[in-house]
Structure 1
């Protein structure tokens, strides 16, 4: 299956082939600042599954992640792992903004205090589920 999307002004368009590796809502402070929002809802894809047209720019928010946005309107589109293993696509930038639904919340230890998560999805204090045995 191919799903398409793009930025606010239309200068950047993308296609995502196949199914995402995962669909998560990240509540970490870096995502909050990078997105200008309480969280970053994204579908993560293998970079080879994405085709991007238009002028983009990026900004490294850590040694592991860079944020990608439209050079014209500034729409925040992607987060890319600098090692080339995955690209997160902002869910709201897909033409069908309901194409994917999150399956879990990560970094809830950093979520905004006024945000109530009551969707029944698993919540993890950091990025990964705790290992077997329950120790984090």
Structure 2
């Protein structure tokens, strides 16, 4: 299956092929700052599953992750692992914004205090335990 998406202005388009590795909501402080939002809801794919067209910029938000955005409109699209193992695609940027549903919340120890999580999904204080 191929799912498509893009940025607000349409200058960047992408295709994600196959099923994601996981679909999670991250509440860590870095994601909050990078997304300008209380959390980052994303579907994670292997990089080879993603095809991107358009002019994007990158910002190293941590030693492990580059944030990728549209240079024209600023839409935050991807969290790209520098080691090449995965890329997180912002759920709201897919054309079918309801195509994926998260299966858990991670880094809830850093979630904003006013945010109430009552969706019944598993919640982890940090990342998923091994």
Q: Calculate the TM-score normalised by the size of structure 1.
A: 0.95
| 1:114 matched residue in structure 2 | 114
Q: 2:83, 2:57 → 1: CA distance? A: 17
- Deviation, 1:97, is 0.1
Q: CA deviation at 1:128?
A: 1.6
Moved >4 Å (runs of 4+): none
Alignment correspondent of 2:46: 46
Q: What is the aligned partner in structure 2 of residue 96 from structure 1? A: 96
SS in 2 for 1:4: strand
Aligned residue for 1:41, secondary structure, equals strand
Q: What RMSD, in angstroms, separates the aligned Cα atoms of the two structures? A: 0.6
Structure 1 stretches lacking a partner, 5+ long: 132-136
CA distance in 2 between partners of 1:128 and 1:99 (Å): 23
Q: SS of the counterpart of 2:32?
A: helix
In 1, the alpha carbon distance for the partners of 2:92 and 2:102 equals 12
Give secondary structure in 2 for the equivalent of 1:98.
coil
Q: TM-score if structure 2 supplies the norm length? A: 0.99
Larger Rg: 1
